[in-house]
Structure 1
Amino acid sequence: MTADGFDFSPGAQVPLSGAAGQTAATQALASAAYRDTEVSKLLDANSEWTVSEVKPPRFSLFEPNLGEAFSRAVQVRMLGGARKQLIQSFGTEPQTVVEHCLAANRIRKSRDARLTVVMVVFGLLFLPGVLLWLAAFQIRRTMAGSQNKGAGALGIFLAIVVGGLVALGMWKAPTDNFWWLYARVMLVAPIVGWAIAKYISEKTAKDLRARWTALLTGGGLGAKVPEAVPRNPGETAAEQLRKGLEKLTAEQRSNIVFYAGPKGILGMGTRWGSWQLAEDLIPIEAEKEINPFRSWDVIKSIHDQLRLLERGPLHTGGFPTPSVRHWVVSPIGEGATEVARGGSTEEEGFQIKGVELQRICNDQQFDSGDRHYLGVQFVLWDGQLVITMLITVTVLHKTLRIEITGHALGPVHPLFTTKPKPKTKTVNKTIRFWETKDIPQPLVETKEVVRLAARAPFTWYPPLLDYLGGKLNLPEPFGLRHAWADRPWRHRFMADDALRAATPVLRVVHDAALRVLKENGVDTERFGNRSSVLSGAVQDAAPRKADLYDA
């Protein structure tokens, strides 16, 4: 329940992994929360449906990495009190991804708390020296690039100058004057603090990388989010977080989707195929009238038959158990930046059921308004492929039309499935120069230690870090799955699965519809002929952009 009153339920239930058949895509997206690569790499994963942006930093020393920016952006977007509504993430468990973002932020907060103590002891007490070192690193990052591994001539020059000042201070400064002694220690203390900060940073980096690897190898443990479990009625923050997670799950289960023109149904992908059967309703006997029936009667029969798709005459595998649901599709503009589900309460806004669903199916078939679709959905390849076939039945004047459309959402971008690489440097061997060897490199480089230490004192107020270091702007309307989804047509077997699903679905739909027509006294000869033509045409199915009209 998400009512305002306190709920004494156990709190946030954290699963150990995604739902059955949906683990690969879920864990791939969740692994982004633990990554330590450049945030700009996320832009390479933009899909044809959505485009994310990275707000440039005002000071590159405070720039976040991919994991920091991703965790922060997803947490705010999906749990924020003033957030917009979300697009369903078919094939994934968005709550699991959000929980991993919360867990990653919790690990980083623990690290930043220790780094803040180091900065206070070795930084605040010796502030002039720290500012001198930070200025040197900031100038280097500005001139040589924050992600450039080589500092170039400028970096070498700054290192020589600062190193010379340290050496000069150690050698020339008199020891009988407090301020001269302070000046000497002022230049050395930041180096000691850097060594401690490096140890703290490397320990956390190993933990984050281990979780990153575990998620992609299938051995990841569930995210630990103790702050989402209220222990007493007075813990307002924990209760709000728990409600946010429950709202996220309820929104994921919504049966209301949005059609964004050429972008297709958001979350399901573009429409790649369409097959229509449309003929007049003529009674079998001219002197008799057709028994009255409605579109819902046809849809109900189709629904019952689609639930038996996994059954066949031969024991050769075949379809897994599909998800057969009634969907309400709302039209929005291609460039819309937000969606809105109606209803006076959250439950009404997320689900349309019963009489209202039947009314939309029977009455809203022409002119403005939402439309009813019956959908059969297959989540395959551990959630990397989502095949959705949508069926709608309309009756205008004497013409009954059965339309079947195919939608396919491909795997998440390969960026999310890359495992961390050990940091090594390949060099020639001294004697056998024609052979090479790998030399281990520090997991956390010097510039990364400085960046983490500089950001640590500001983590208590994330908006300030967003202002100084920039942030990740997620695409709108936002949904975790379709934001970084690829087309399935580049993967041979995924494309085959999508194309093969069309034929049996179409034939089951036609058989169920013809049965209802016969039972109500409709002459089905023309429907049968047309069905046979479509049954032959669908065998040569090929993906195309069915939502683009050349007109």
Structure 2
Amino acid sequence: MTKLDMTPGAQIPRTDVGPQTAVTQLLSSAAYRDLPVEGLDGVGGITIKKGRFYDLFRPSVGEAFSRAVIDRTLRPKRNPLVPSFGTDTRMVVEHCLAAEELRRVRDQQLTLVTLLTGLLFLPGTLVWLALFEVRAYFRRTSPSREGFYSTLALLAAAGLAVLLAIRPPFTGLLAVYFRVTMLVPVAGWFVAKRICLRSVQGLRDRWGGLVDGSALAATVPKAVPRDDMDKKANELRAQLDRLTSEQETNIQHYAGSKGILGAGMRWGVWEVVEELRPAEGHPDFRAFHPWDLTRRITARLGGLGHSEVAGAGMPHVSVQQWVVLDIPEGADEIGRPGGAEMDGYRMRDFGIQQIANRQSLGTDSRHRLATQLVLHNGQLVSTLLIGVTVMSNTLRVSVSGYALGPLNGFFGAKPKPKEKNIPKTGKFWEERTVQLPLIDNDEVVRQAVRAPFAGMPTLLTWLGGSIKLPEPFSLRASWADPTWKSRFKADDVIYGATPVVNAVLVAIIEFLEEHDVNVERFTGRGSILKSEMQGVRPFRADNYDAG
């Protein structure tokens, strides 16, 4: 029998993903997990959709997660994805593809075993499958008596096997067939168990390695074209490239109290609002556009990574120009603008400049200058958006803070041995822990009956079920826990806002002085704002009391 190959094969070249590696690996580890799919119920809005024969064909966590992520990200026709800041989405999808490839090799071996020892001896196979269905039925309806009824069913099946082996109902070749029809499926079960055990051990090694931070490559041979005519591989590569481009979009969406989709809720706002007046000795100030001030602020923010004090620069700072669209809070999908302003998934510079310079009152698209910090190995994404608007002769510069917290603890769980507490012999009032087999009978049957349908995912979904991902879907934000439950992460969000606000204030004063604007009032407003920053704390900035 061919040994299951768990070593990396043809791979897609990857570049260093920097501070987001840890979160990417934690999300990728879910593709290799062999836990019951019920463990995903309620994790970040995931819902389980049970199939027609759920007990027998149910998927595991890894099988359901991989299939759901691949279907959601690589289908040619799908809704747009919300950007996953602090995460290499493509790498997660590649690990899902790699996990499916490993299971495909396992399923080919199991299918061969099933055909030779199951389908060819179908009468006996159906009896054993009925036994497992009976166990599943009583596990649901009478858990306390499941063991009793299962034992009766097992004894009945074993008795039938012995009876057929001793006194088959036919003669000749049929007699030989019926003598072994109940025994060959049992032999096939032993072979299938070895295949399943080797597969699960390999998958668990990758699961544990990713959680521990090992740099495990994703093996995606289907995405490496063998020649120019390899249409499927070229299409898969194109879809992966499309996914990468989509994640680099500069079009974001604001969904009410959810904040910026993908960046988290708004937790703080600081504003400088003052009338523009000419400086003393000047009849008028020099006219400017909001985009001109935005460029000056952008240049100042670009220096946050440097400091005159050794080691005091802000780490992993990125400064980008965004266009933010307003959508309903309950919307289950997002859209992308079209037209000459767009270059694929990104708006061209002239389109962004036009939005920045136009009067934004009464519009549903705004320009924002985004300063983003990815910290704690990607477990914290802090975003500060700067907006510059001029109405009549009043300048308003706002800085708003958004925070995306750590991943749900489910994704950080390591593989553990299966254990059970049982009463001690002779001391029933005390318990002892015994280690259970990594693969039990039910799991062998589950994988064996699913294997022949692995090439028909739609039918397998109907038989066993699937999971539904939350929408609008972001691989990172959909499963983020609140930032404020972690003391250091909460402090880092607050501390990181102060130098950004200070840099914005300095850029405003410098720019206005160059344009002959009286900066006395702006300087006073800036001093008040700095005083407020001394005791800054998060609050619900998007919940308005309109009562």
Counterpart in the other structure of 1:539: 534
Do residues 514 (structure 1) and 512 (structure 2) align?
Answer: no
Change (3 A) 1:127 1:390: same
Counterpart in the other structure of 1:53: 47
1:36-87 C-alpha deviation (Å, 9 max, x unpaired): 11222223321xxxx2221112112111011000000101110111111111
Q: Distance in 1 between matches of 2:340 and 2:288?
A: 33
CA contact (8 A) 1:342 1:349 kept: no
Aligned-partner SS, 2:216: coil
- Report the alpha carbon displacement of residue 174 of structure 1 after superposing the two structures with TM: 7.0
Matched positions, count: 536
1:455-506 C-alpha deviation (Å, 9 max, x unpaired): 1111111000111111111111111001111111101100000011111111
- Report the alpha carbon displacement of residue 349 of structure 1 after superposing the two structures with TM: 3.8
Identical aligned residues as a percent? 44
Do residues 126 (structure 1) and 121 (structure 2) align?
Answer: yes
Q: Distance in 1 between matches of 2:169 and 2:519?
A: 106
Q: Distance in 1 between matches of 2:511 and 2:340?
A: 37
Do residues 40 (structure 1) and 38 (structure 2) align?
Answer: yes
The letter of the residue matching 2:541 is A
Counterpart in the other structure of 1:4: none
Q: Distance in 1 between matches of 2:443 and 2:237?
A: 34
Q: TM-score with structure 2 length normalisation?
A: 0.93
Q: Distance in 1 between matches of 2:172 and 2:211?
A: 59
The partner residue of 1:171 within 141, 166, 185 is 166
C-alpha RMSD of the superposition: 2.3
Counterpart in the other structure of 1:330: 325
- Report the alpha carbon displacement of residue 286 of structure 1 after superposing the two structures with TM: 7.3
Q: Distance in 2 between matches of 1:106 and 1:352?
A: 37
The partner residue of 1:69 within 40, 58, 64 is 64
Q: Distance in 2 between matches of 1:546 and 1:366?
A: 20
Counterpart in the other structure of 1:15: 14
The letter of the residue matching 2:184 is A
1:252-310 C-alpha deviation (Å, 9 max, x unpaired): 11111111111111000010111111111111137611101111111111111111112
- Report the alpha carbon displacement of residue 431 of structure 1 after superposing the two structures with TM: 8.9
Change (3 A) 1:344 1:152: farther
Q: Distance in 2 between matches of 1:141 and 1:429?
A: 28
Q: 1:426-445 residue pairs with structure 2 within 5 A?
A: 426=421, 439-445=434-440
CA contact (8 A) 2:59 2:466 kept: yes
Q: TM-score with structure 1 length normalisation?
A: 0.92
Change (3 A) 1:529 1:322: same
CA contact (8 A) 2:138 2:145 kept: no
- Report the alpha carbon displacement of residue 14 of structure 1 after superposing the two structures with TM: 3.5
The letter of the residue matching 1:410 is G
- Report the alpha carbon displacement of residue 155 of structure 1 after superposing the two structures with TM: 2.0
CA contact (8 A) 2:304 2:313 kept: no
Q: Distance in 1 between matches of 2:285 and 2:327?
A: 37
The letter of the residue matching 1:20 is G
CA contact (8 A) 2:268 2:539 kept: yes
Change (3 A) 1:516 1:256: same
Q: Distance in 2 between matches of 1:374 and 1:157?
A: 70
CA contact (8 A) 2:275 2:393 kept: yes
The letter of the residue matching 1:299 is T
The letter of the residue matching 1:30 is S
Change (3 A) 1:512 1:287: closer
1:177-217 C-alpha deviation (Å, 9 max, x unpaired): 43343222111111111111100000000000000001011
Q: Distance in 2 between matches of 1:378 and 1:362?
A: 27
CA contact (8 A) 1:342 1:348 kept: no
- Report the alpha carbon displacement of residue 325 of structure 1 after superposing the two structures with TM: 0.6
The partner residue of 2:23 within 22, 25, 29 is 25
1:311-346 C-alpha deviation (Å, 9 max, x unpaired): 223225352141011111011111112112123599
Change (3 A) 1:67 1:347: farther
Gapped runs of 5+ residues in structure 2?
1-9
Counterpart in the other structure of 2:3: none
Change (3 A) 1:26 1:345: farther
Q: Distance in 2 between matches of 1:332 and 1:515?
A: 36
CA contact (8 A) 2:34 2:60 kept: yes
The letter of the residue matching 1:141 is A
Counterpart in the other structure of 1:8: none
Do residues 162 (structure 1) and 160 (structure 2) align?
Answer: no
CA contact (8 A) 1:12 1:242 kept: no
CA contact (8 A) 1:174 1:181 kept: no
The letter of the residue matching 1:27 is Q
Q: Distance in 2 between matches of 1:172 and 1:364?
A: 92
The letter of the residue matching 1:13 is I
Counterpart in the other structure of 1:96: 91
Aligned-partner SS, 1:272: strand
Q: Distance in 2 between matches of 1:59 and 1:355?
A: 56
Change (3 A) 1:63 1:364: farther
Change (3 A) 1:448 1:167: same
The partner residue of 1:250 within 245, 250, 257 is 245
Q: Distance in 2 between matches of 1:264 and 1:90?
A: 14
The partner residue of 1:111 within 106, 127, 149 is 106
CA contact (8 A) 1:386 1:408 kept: yes
- Report the alpha carbon displacement of residue 426 of structure 1 after superposing the two structures with TM: 4.8
Change (3 A) 1:345 1:138: farther
1:226-267 C-alpha deviation (Å, 9 max, x unpaired): 110112111110000000010010011111111111111100
Change (3 A) 1:346 1:326: closer
Q: Distance in 2 between matches of 1:149 and 1:143?
A: 9
Q: Distance in 2 between matches of 1:348 and 1:12?
A: 29
Q: Distance in 2 between matches of 1:224 and 1:336?
A: 36
Q: Distance in 2 between matches of 1:218 and 1:65?
A: 23
The partner residue of 2:393 within 398, 403, 411 is 398
Comparing 395-404 with 309-318, which one deviates more in the overlay? 309-318
Comparing 501-510 with 413-422, which one deviates more in the overlay? 501-510
Q: Distance in 1 between matches of 2:144 and 2:73?
A: 35
The partner residue of 1:144 within 135, 139, 147 is 139
Q: Distance in 2 between matches of 1:446 and 1:317?
A: 58
CA contact (8 A) 1:373 1:390 kept: yes
The partner residue of 2:520 within 512, 519, 525 is 525
Change (3 A) 1:345 1:231: farther
Do residues 340 (structure 1) and 339 (structure 2) align?
Answer: no
Do residues 469 (structure 1) and 464 (structure 2) align?
Answer: yes
- Report the alpha carbon displacement of residue 542 of structure 1 after superposing the two structures with TM: 1.4
Q: Distance in 2 between matches of 1:124 and 1:385?
A: 52
- Report the alpha carbon displacement of residue 151 of structure 1 after superposing the two structures with TM: 3.8
Gapped runs of 5+ residues in structure 1?
1-10
The letter of the residue matching 1:330 is L
Do residues 424 (structure 1) and 423 (structure 2) align?
Answer: no
- Report the alpha carbon displacement of residue 550 of structure 1 after superposing the two structures with TM: 1.4
CA contact (8 A) 2:282 2:516 kept: no
Comparing 342-351 with 540-549, which one deviates more in the overlay? 342-351
Aligned-partner SS, 1:282: coil
Comparing 256-265 with 178-187, which one deviates more in the overlay? 178-187
CA contact (8 A) 2:341 2:351 kept: no
Q: Distance in 2 between matches of 1:116 and 1:90?
A: 41
CA contact (8 A) 1:14 1:222 kept: no
Comparing 397-406 with 539-548, which one deviates more in the overlay? 539-548
Q: Distance in 2 between matches of 1:346 and 1:281?
A: 32
Q: 1:181-192 residue pairs with structure 2 within 5 A?
A: 181-192=176-187
